[in-house]
Homo-oligomer: A and B are copies of this chain.
Amino acid sequence: MQLLKDRIVKDGIVKEGNVLRVDSFLNHCMDIELFQEIGKEFRRIYEGEEITKILTIEASGIGIACIVAQYFHVPVVFAKKNRSSNLPDHVYTSQVQSFTHGTTSCIVVSKDFLKPDDRVLIIDDFLANGCALEGLAEIIQESGATLVGAGIVIEKAYQRGGQALRAKGIRVESLARIQEMSPEKGVVFA
């Protein structure tokens, strides 16, 4: 998606340690008009696919997922990061490792909101090592719903996540795939 790539080049900041900061338009300050274009693009890509629900994960996936959902006319469910030691009742759960924070957290989705007849599209802002997406896919499988595919805004294509998920037969569509990046070179798209 050219509009998005142009925006990453213009406003993204590549930092040492494999960090791409896009918080001026994607995940801290959110450009809603850009999100609308992202929503139209995912609708185009998943044309003809019946989708009944969008699933995402807190916090930075939620805004994008809600705007995207308007083009599919479906509700959004977001997986919550469970921070207490007690697990609530009546939930699907999965363990998700965060390389950024060096932690493992438990994500939960109420059993009320994913059913076997649901056809689910996962939406998230980033795909790198794929842990969040794998956790969401696991929850969908637990529920008996069908995972139609994933819509990712930015994929770090040089990390293992996308490849591993596609190898499992999961459809993963990313609007901007980064081949390499560094503070010196900036971002090079695949």
Q: Using CB atoms and an 8 Å cutoff, list the residues of chain A in contact with chain B.
A: 23-25, 28-33, 35-36, 58-59, 62-63, 65-67, 69-70, 73-78, 80, 83-84, 101, 109-110, 112-113
Contact = CB atoms under 8 A, between A and B. Distances in A.
B32 A77 contact: no
A63 to B, nearest CB: 4
Contact of A66 (B30, B84, B113): B30
A24 B59 contact: no
B36 A70 contact: yes
Given A62-B62, A66-B63, A101-B84, A76 B29 contact: yes
Residue of A29, A35, A109, A112 with most partner-chain B CB within 10 A: A29
Contacts of A29: 75-77, 110, 112-113
A97 B72 CA distance: 37
B80 A32 contact: no
B36 A75 contact: no
Nearest 6 CB-CB pairings of A with B: A58-B59, A63-B66, A29-B113, A62-B62, A30-B76, A59-B59
Contact of A67 (B28, B67, B78, B110): B67
Contact of A76 (B32, B58, B101): B32
Contact of A77 (B28, B74, B83, B84): B28
Nearest to A66: B63
Contacts of A23: 110, 112
A167 B159 CA distance: 53
Contacts of A112: 23-24, 29
